[in-house]
A and B are shown apart, each in its own frame.
Chain A
Amino acid sequence: MAQISLDEIAHSYLPYPKNDADYALKRIHNIWNDGGAYALLGPSGCGKTTLLNIISGLLKPSKGRVRFGETDVTDLPPEKRNIAQVFQFPVLYDTMTVFNNLAFPLKNRGFDNAYIKTRVKEIARILELETVLHKKAEGLGADAKQKISLGRGLVREDVAAILFDEPLTVIDPQLKWQLRCKLKEIHEQLKLTLIYVTHDQVEALTFADQIIVMYEGKIVQIGTPQELFEYPNHKFVGYFIGSPGMNFLPCTMENGRARVGKFHIPLDDRTAALGNRATGSLEMGIRPLYLKIHGQETAGSFQVPVQSVEDQGSYRVVALSFNDQTIRARIAENEPVPGSMAWVSFPEKWIRLFENDQLLK
């Protein structure tokens, strides 16, 4: 077990990358702690899987070094690194039984049969696969198959980290939840480092203590779910986390207030000071959850037309036209929705300012 350090990693799939755009991973410099549960979150094509494959050794980075603890593993093949990987689709050796599937990594490493037997039984117990141990792996359900893939990783005692590449994609929704719980349980039991790639924010938020948000080959933010929600480092994090995403309005600073067209929105002193210092293009952002909607005029609210109301089950999303831009507010199911006009106010506490897409702080 060891911490994983990524030292100035960059990767391009082209043999001779010329500029930044040729790189799938731009510059990753990071240390991941031993025993942590990390989620790599980002849209398709942002480099999550590339980064995962670099850690597991399936890819050798164009630049930079990967270290597990003190050991430089950059040039080591996957079987020499102490990692296991679970793929998007269950990967099984169809012709083998579940037992032989689980025993395969140990057999390949030349362990003796008695040890293999006890170890496989132990893992099967943790994963609740005991009843199907002597069945063919081929005929099992997708969730059992994914458990076997996971088991092939867990069965090796030297495994320092398990990497997951969107492992729940093919699992039915109700089983997803069960498997996710199982993963958390295993994490707590075995204290392994888990790195989990996903583009599903719910999965990432429930699974991980630390979320690594990636965008266009870069890590834009690492933080707890709460940090990502309240202080998104980059506009992209604001969009990507939360449902619906953060509202952004281009603005200018005027007398300590943010001016959006004809509206002057008050800011708290700290935010105003940050805004006054900024020189680049400014935008203010606020989560839909924190926008306040009123049926009649209240202090510090602005009258705007209502565009639409969407019922999302446990909450509703109200779209408002604010200075000819659409902003969204999330309101509770039982809150009254105003008719064609509404008054909206921006609580100072939740307004964030972004300069050139970066959070001012």
Chain B
Amino acid sequence: MKKWQDNKGWLFILPVFIIVAFSAIIPLMTVVNYSIQDIFGPGQRIFVGTEWFKETLTDPRLHEALWRQLLFSGLVLLIEMPLGIAIALTMPTKKGLGSSVCLVLIALPLLIPWNVIGTIWIIFTRPDIGLMGAFINNMGITFDHTASGLHAWITLMLMEVWHWTPLVILLAYAGLRSIPEAYYQAARIDGASAWAIFKYIQLPKMRGVLTIALLLRFMDSFLIYAEPFVLTGGGPGNATTFLSIYLVKIAVGQFDLGPAGAFSLIYFLIVLLFCYLFYQVLLNVGKGESS
């Protein structure tokens, strides 16, 4: 009786266990299960051990996709983080109509479904009827994202920056608003320049929200699928075949569930590793400084 009473606490966390099991652990384990078997059809499967992992890790097309992916995420972070902070800094600081209108306008892209975003930009950049595409082409510059890999990348970056910089802006703005007025007053009395205020007050105080922004933007951009899929389906050629697009090609296009499972697990571990590294670096940044 006594023991049963002591263990009652487990009942309270049981729902969480069940939800996490169904939402994460069980699906993940089925992927693990696929990744170590060769599946020919229902009931026809052979255990292959680490075969698929070896194959996936040595697949040159996967390596290409990985580098492409890293370049893409790197560019996204390099553009969106500074741009988001810069825009947040120029937003009205006082509560009122001005800041409310700004916030709503900035948040608009975040409210649009991902597949609509792709379609909007396909039409916007079309060389024949798109506002931007036709404008550029009429200036004498050929711009066609279906023909040139570079143009596809430019279009994708524009789409991505337009869609997700608002998230960075909103987070940075929230961080800025939480800095007490006294900090700015003290800085003025200390004769600090605008740059010094940014470096020693605003940036350190925004560190928490910027860490979240960076992690979210990294994960999201590293897992990007919908935008290149809608835009060119990974083309032209393989120019925008990122990891997730390649993965879907293997899993759905070729129905190679074994390699796709192994690929998924590796993909998952890469994301996990990068997030961990970013988090550790940002957690410790500024802590080691001394005169």
Contacts and interface: CB of A to CB of B under 8 A. Distances in A.
B196 A96 contact: no
B contact residues, range: 20 to 34
Contacts of B205: 94
A58 to B, nearest CB: 5
Given A100-B291, A134-B290, A93 B188 contact: no
A78 B182 CA distance: 13
A108 B191 contact: yes
B6 interface: no
Contacts of B191: 79, 105, 108-109
Interface in B166-212: 180, 182-183, 185-186, 188-193, 196, 200-201, 204-205
B204 A94 contact: yes
- Interface class of chain A by DSSP: mixed
B100 to A, nearest CB: 20
B59 interface: no
Interface string B263-291: 00000000000000000000000110111
A96 B186 contact: no
Contacts of A105: 189-191
A153 B289 CA distance: 23
A251 B35 CA distance: 97
A136 B190 contact: no
A353 interface: no
Nearest to A84: B189
Contact of A79 (B190, B204, B287): B190
Given A87-B182, A88-B182, A91-B183, A104 B192 contact: yes
A78 B188 contact: yes
Contacts of B193: 108
A56 interface: yes
Nearest to A120: B291
B182 A77 contact: no
Contacts of A88: 182
B204 A91 contact: no
A91 B197 CA distance: 13
A91 to B, nearest CB: 4
B188 A79 contact: yes
A105 B186 CA distance: 10
Looking at B190, B192, B204, B286, which has the most chain A CB atoms within 10 Å of its CB?
A: B190
Nearest to B203: A95
B291 A85 contact: no
B95 to A, nearest CB: 14
A97 interface: yes
Given A93-B200, A95-B204, A58 B291 contact: no
A152 interface: yes
A83 B189 contact: yes
B189 A85 contact: yes
A108 B190 contact: yes
A160 to B, nearest CB: 13
Contact of A77 (B188, B190, B286, B287): B188
A100 B183 CA distance: 16
Contacts of A89: 180, 182
A185 B239 CA distance: 72
A343 interface: no
A77 B185 CA distance: 11
A149 interface: yes
A207 interface: no
A95 B188 contact: no
A94 B285 CA distance: 12
Looking at B182, B188, B204, B205, which has the most chain A CB atoms within 10 Å of its CB?
A: B182
A85 B286 contact: no
Nearest to A153: B189
Nearest to B289: A95
Contacts of A100: 291
A322 interface: no
A99 interface: yes
B289 A79 contact: no
Looking at B186, B192, B200, which has the most chain A CB atoms within 10 Å of its CB?
A: B186
Contacts of B189: 56, 58, 78-79, 83-85, 105, 153
A93 B192 CA distance: 11
Interface in A174-227: none
Looking at B189, B192, B204, B291, which has the most chain A CB atoms within 10 Å of its CB?
A: B189
Contacts of A149: 186
Contacts of A136: 287, 289-290
A85 B290 contact: no
B196 A87 contact: no
Contacts of A93: 200-201, 204
Contacts of B183: 91
Interface in A34-86: 53, 56, 58, 77-79, 83-85
Nearest to B286: A95
B291 A134 contact: yes
B192 A108 contact: yes
Nearest to B204: A95
A153 B190 CA distance: 8
A152 B190 contact: yes
Contacts of A83: 189
A58 B190 contact: no
Task: Name the 6 nearest CB pairs between A and B, nearest first.
Answer: A79-B191, A108-B191, A91-B186, A87-B182, A105-B190, A95-B286
Interface of A: 53, 56, 58, 77-79, 83-85, 87-89, 91, 93-97, 99-100, 104-105, 108-109, 134, 136, 149, 152-153
11 contacts: A78-B188, A78-B189, A85-B185, A93-B201, A93-B204, A95-B286, A96-B289, A104-B196, A104-B200, A105-B191, A136-B287
Given A108-B190, A136-B290, A149-B186, 9 more contacts: A56-B185, A79-B189, A84-B189, A89-B180, A94-B286, A95-B289, A104-B190, A104-B192, A152-B186
